[in-house]
A and B are shown apart, each in its own frame.
Chain A
Amino acid sequence: AQSVSQHNHHVILSEAASLELGCNYSYGGTVNLFWYVQYPGQHLQLLLKYFSGDPLVKGIKGFEAEFIKSKFSFNLRKPSVQWSDTAEYFCAVKDDYKLSFGAGTTVTVRA
């Protein structure tokens, strides 16, 4: 069975700072990897996904993630955050049909 580990529970940043959220997974098969964002009181929105090909994936809102197979990692990055990036971020891995989520990282961006 797959599992997903997110390293940081809560990250606090100032606007324009760079953001990197760690995600490691354990799964023996072919992985599909996702990052979702959940703004306060809202549903999950897909930020980006990796299925195959270029391990550097670009998503919406200026986010990107890099799949490093040897490290079983899929870290999320954004060079310069904005106050509106305050949200909870979830890494997820999908096997044939099921998404398994990490515990989430709460990101607070201070103006």
Chain B
Amino acid sequence: NAGVMQNPRHLVRRRGQEARLRCSPMKGHSHVYWYRQLPEEGLKFMVYLQKENIIDESGMPKERFSAEFPKEGPSILRIQQVVRGDSAAYFCASSPPVGPGNTIYFGEGSWLTVV
């Protein structure tokens, strides 16, 4: 049973380019989360999605960032016109349908470097 799969693991982008990070949840999980970890900081919640729905995007920057979780295929975190401050590790997590007792499982992360 594969875990949460993220790709690419490492991504280098020049300032102004677009970054796309992909996440396939664990089998049977219909809920996806994106977290960002900046250097020397903890994990910050960005967005919570179910299939075809954004449930909570309170942690997403207002501009340049978007996320989707289509009916078919992986969840995508898209960062347009990247800046150096976007350099971070982006972790995807998934869980079964919502319940307080459900554990959230994390992927191995995608490290974005903006040069």
A interface residues with partner B (beta carbon < 8 Å): 30, 32, 34, 36, 42-46, 49, 51-52, 90, 94-104
Interface size of B by Cβ–Cβ distance < 8 Å? 24
Contact partners of A44 in chain B: CB under 8 A: 43, 91, 106
Instruction: Decide: A99 near B104, CB < 8 A? Known: A43-B109, A90-B42.
Output: yes
Shortest beta-carbon distance, A4 to chain B, in Å?
9
B interface residues with partner A (beta carbon < 8 Å): 31, 33, 35, 41-45, 48, 55-56, 91, 93, 95, 98, 100-101, 103-109
Contact partners of B41 in chain A: CB under 8 A: 103-104
Contact partners of B106 in chain A: CB under 8 A: 36, 43-45
CA distance A52 to B108 in the complex (A): 28
Closest to B56 in A: A98
Closest to A52 in B: B101
CA distance A102 to B43 in the complex (A): 8
Instruction: Decide: A101 near B43, CB < 8 A? Known: A43-B91, A44-B91, A44-B106.
Output: yes
Closest to B106 in A: A44
Contact partners of A104 in chain B: CB under 8 A: 41-42
Shortest beta-carbon distance, A60 to chain B, in Å?
13
Contact partners of B35 in chain A: CB under 8 A: 101
